[in-house]
Amino acid sequence: MEEKRGLKWNKIKLTTEEEEALVIGNSDDVTNTVNNCLVGRVLTHEKIDMTALKSTMKSEWRFAKGLDIIELGNSMALFQFANARDKARVLEGTPWAFHKNLLILSEYDGSITPESLEMNRCSFWIQISNLPLKWMNQRVGERIGDKLGCFEAVEVDENGNGWGRFMRVRVNIDVSKPLRRFMILELQKRERCRVILRYERLPIFCFICGVLGHSEKSCGNSGEEEESQYGVWMKAREPRKEDRKNIIVWRDRTSGLASPEVLDLTEDELIEKFALGVRMVTSFALAISYSFPLKL
Ligand SMILES: [Zn+2]
């Protein structure tokens, strides 16, 4: 930002007075209110109407208690939630969009400047189809998820199977790269299959280069390919409640793939324990989880 205004940091020499450090870090200096915060950045080159962003996200998330949104400049905003549960619900519900542009969210504790955050990851539910039923299970879901990015969760039934037209896997992906459309799996006896990846609630992305955040009109790669290599077919509809499996298996990011613990909890208890959004979890008689799901 400063570079655009003609300020080039690496060309500036500090004076002796400017070099003198002011030592801070005593308890009196540190504000203790950077709790339950996320930093958000709208992935677009267009200018953002921050007033509209605030009202849109407040009405989209509809929290009973307060949500403060503070403009940080550069298409970024600080979202301060009333409690950890509200924040968790938003993170569990990604991707979110503002005017169809992806809103990237990142955990924030106030220890660095918001500009220093790497804002290029977001979690999506990905529908994996053209996969033989035999391989539609929890373990294969985890392995596919880790190949695509960072596996977070898979939707399965009581037997750990994700049988159906597709298997749903939640993956944290790098949105600065083109969206993956396919993956080759090598099955037994070197038999190969090409699985198809479709994304739920996919915001604006470019049908030419496959990257989120712009459309074909503003793509720098236009005219290179005869056929669009990406398309609307990559957008998946969220399955109806009755078509979903009733278990979401989350990975504990700290301990990796531990043995699952079986929990017999009511839906309310599960939401309390795992801070899951009601929107995403439809019916629970039984739940299997690796542990708290929200360490991104
Ligand atoms: Zn493009």
89-145 tens-digit pLDDT: 999 999 999 999 999 999 999 889 999 999 999 999 999 999 999 899 999 999 999
Distance 234 CA to ligand 1 centre (A): 15
Mean pLDDT of the chain, nearest integer? 83
Distance 220 CA to ligand 1 centre (A): 6
pLDDT at 271: 44
Distance 168 CA to ligand 1 centre (A): 27
Distance 37 CA to ligand 1 centre (A): 32
pLDDT at 111: 87
155-181 tens-digit pLDDT: 999 999 999 999 999 999 999 999 999
Lowest mean pLDDT among 95-99, 240-244, 256-260: 256-260
pLDDT at 268: 47
pLDDT at 49: 94
Distance 127 CA to ligand 1 centre (A): 23
Give every CB contact of residue 155 below 8 A, 6+ residues apart in sequence.
162, 167, 168, 169, 244, 245, 247, 248, 249
- Strands 96-98 and 121-129, sheet pairing: unpaired
Residue 241: pLDDT band with limits 50, 70, 90: confident
Alpha-carbon span 258 to 149, nearest angstrom: 19
Per-residue pLDDT at 208 exceeds 50: yes
Residue 236: pLDDT band with limits 50, 70, 90: very high
Alpha-carbon span 74 to 47, nearest angstrom: 9
Distances in Å between the Cα of 75 and the Cα atoms of 37, 40, 58, 205 are 17, 8, 17, 18
| Residue 204 near residue 102 (C-beta atoms within 8 A) | yes
Per-residue pLDDT at 277 exceeds 70: no
In the chain, the largest separation of any two C-alpha atoms, in whole Å, equals 71
Q: Provide the percentage of residues in the chain whose pLDDT is more than 70.
A: 79
For residue 73, the cross-strand partners are: 76
Alpha-carbon span 203 to 45, nearest angstrom: 14
Buried b (16+ CB within 10 A) or exposed e, 150-166: bbbbbbbbeebbbebeb
pLDDT at 88: 93
Distance 178 CA to ligand 1 centre (A): 9
pTM of the shown model: 0.79
Distance 145 CA to ligand 1 centre (A): 24
Q: Average pLDDT for residues 230-257, to the nearest whole number?
A: 81
Alpha-carbon span 238 to 244, nearest angstrom: 9
DSSP tag of 253: T
More confident residue, 289 or 136: 136
pLDDT at 4: 53
Residue 291: pLDDT band with limits 50, 70, 90: very low
22-32 tens-digit pLDDT: 887 777 766 66
Distance 100 CA to ligand 1 centre (A): 16
